[in-house]
Amino acid sequence: QVTLRESGGGSVQTGGSLRLSCEVSGYIQSVYCMAWFRQAPGKMREGVGSIYVAGGTTRYADSVKGRFTISQDSLENRLYLQMNSLKPDDTGTYSCAALRWEPDGVSHPPRCGFTGYSSWGQGTQVTVSS
């Protein structure tokens, strides 16, 4: 089992910055990918950024490329999302998620995109005002 806990949300004005943090605990050895998702009121949840934990390869949604950066601190077991040049459209509840996978000699490693995540944090609110 993996437990995730986000922090760092808040309210900022357009153009401001926030840094979200996700503390990871539990059976960390099984975590293969991690990602940040967000959900605005009345909208579907969408992936924001993902990272391949062992290699560090990242992917981003087109809407946040060049503004958001996902990173990890393996020693502290933390995932971060640095958000710059924030816009009102970035408002929503941000959650971190973990995709667990271990080699079994049969299945192929998953791609670290925005599907297949089974462990979720409770979310942290980000509000960007104009």
Residue-level pLDDT, tens digit, the chain, 130 residues: 999 999 999 999 999 999 999 999 999 999 999 999 999 989 999 999 999 999 999 999 999 999 999 999 988 899 999 999 999 999 999 999 999 998 888 988 899 999 999 999 999 999 999 9
What are the CA-CA distances from residue 64 to residues 27, 47, 84, 85, 103 (Å)? 30, 10, 9, 10, 32
Look up residue 2 and give its two tokens. Answer: 């993996």
63, 118, 109, 30 alpha-carbon torsion, rounded to 10°: 120
Torsion sign across C-alpha atoms 9, 12, 14, 18:
negative
